[in-house]
Amino acid sequence: MEHSYAQALWQMVEKGMKPKEAVAKIRDALEKRGRLSILPKVGRAFARIATREGAKNAVVLSVAKEKDAAGAKRETKDLFREMGIEAGDVEVRLDETLIGGWRLEGRERLHDASYKKYLLSVYNRATT
C-alpha cells in the first residue's frame, strides 16, 4: 500500500508539482483515510523509487587512480557527445578492481577501456 502512495508522490513531483505541496497532498489523503501511521513507510518507499530512477539516468566513469580521471574525461569526450551528456553530469568513482584505464557506464551502455578487460581476454585465450 505504501508503495502505491510513494509512486503517486513520485508522479506528482515528476509532473512539476513542488515537493512540499505533493507531500502535503499525500499527507492529507492519508489523514482522510485514517492511514497517517504509514507516512514513514511511504517516505522510505519514495526513497527507494528515487534511488532506482536516479540509477537509470546516472552516468559513472570508473577510473583506476584519481590522477587518471582527467585523461579519461578527455578520451570519452566523443562518447559524452554521442550519449547527449555533459562532462559535469558524470560522476567519477575510484574503482580499486581496475588495474588501469577506465569504464563508462550509464544510460544502458557500457564502454570498457580498462586494462583489466584486456588482461582477462588474454588470460581466457591462453587458457582455452
Q: Which three cell numbers stand for residue 49?
A: 523509487
pLDDT for the residue 84: 83
115 three-state secondary structure: helix
Q: CA separation (Å) from 115 to 4, 19, 20?
A: 45, 44, 47
Q: What string of DSSP letters covers 86-103?
A: -GGGPEEEE-TT-SSEEE
Which segments in the chain show pLDDT lower than 70? 55-57
pLDDT for the residue 56: 67
Spell out the domain ranges in the chain.
2-56, 58-127
pLDDT for the residue 81: 85
CA–CA distance, 66 with 10 (Å, rounded to integer): 36
pLDDT for the residue 25: 93
